[in-house]
Structure formats: structure tokens, C-alpha cells
Amino acid sequence: MNDWGKETASKLRAEAQSIAQEAAAQLHREKLRNDQGPRLWNEVREHTKAKCANLNREYGEDVLTIMEVQNRNLDVRFKAPSGKIHELKATFEPSSANNALHWKTSGHRMNESQAGSCELTIKNDVVSLLSGAHPYTTESIAEKMLEDLLLG
């Protein structure tokens, strides 16, 4: 008699162990994103608020207004020199690794809009923002969102 039963049971145990390890790794990644992601989002919001205040001060007029800053949302309005109002809406969801931060602007020429997004990536248990395979700082993300709003 051959050892088919023994070999097959061993393969099944190895497969079950592999599935359990991947599930544990996925849970660990989710925990890291949920623990560290909100801090990154808070930094993006704080940089955005500071850059709005700085631009308003430098321009000599309140052209940027923060309408809403909540745990998961950011809404900024820009009063263009034409008098038209442009809007930036950003949303953050740490559990959505591939689309954790996304934003859209509206009110541009011929109703064109600008959109962008970042994913949360993990390297050596450190979560960071990534867009198009390029890492970004929280400050550079704030600048990108505001540039899309102002110059889009």
C-alpha cells in the first residue's frame, strides 16, 4: 500500500497553514492601515489648512475656504478671479488600501474636473501614501490636491 493518505493529508495541512498565515498577514496589514492611516490623513488635512491660510495671506484675500473637515472628508472652496467657485472634495478610507485617499475638483473651465487618488502602502510595518507607484509626503499630497483645485 502506498502513502497516498499520509502525503495528501500533509499537503492539506500545508495548504491550511498557508491560508491561515495569509489571513493573519492580511489582518496585520489592515491593523497597520487603520492605526497609522488616520494620522497620515490628519497630516494631509493640517497641511491643507495651513497652505490655504498661507495662500490667502499672500494673496491678500480669502480665496480659499475650508468648508468641512471631518474624520473622513475634506471640502475646500476656491473663489476664482472670474468669480466662479471651484470645489475640492477629498475622502479618506483606511480600510480601502488601493483607494484610501481620493479627491475630485469641480467648477473648472467647461465643467472639467480633476481627480486623484493615493493608496496606503506598507513597508517594514510603516504605512505611507503612494500614487502611481511614487511615494508622496503628506505635504506634497496637500499641495497636489490644492493645485488641482486652483490650476485645474
Q: What is the pLDDT of residues 53-62, one digit of tens each?
A: 999 999 999 9
Q: What is the pLDDT of residues 58-98, one digit of tens each?
A: 999 999 999 977 788 999 999 998 888 999 999 999 887 78
CB 85 within 8 A of CB 94: no
| Integer Cα distance of 81 and 64 in angstroms | 12
Distances, alpha carbon 102 to alpha carbons 14, 32, 82, 117, in Å: 39, 19, 27, 4
Q: At what angle do helices 4-59 and 138-151 cross, to 10 degrees?
A: 60
Amino acid making up residue 143: E
CB 53 within 8 A of CB 69: no
Q: Which residues contact 151 (CB under 8 A, 6 or more apart)?
A: none
* pLDDT category of residue 45 using cuts at 50, 70 and 90: very high
Rounded to two decimals, the pTM is 0.83
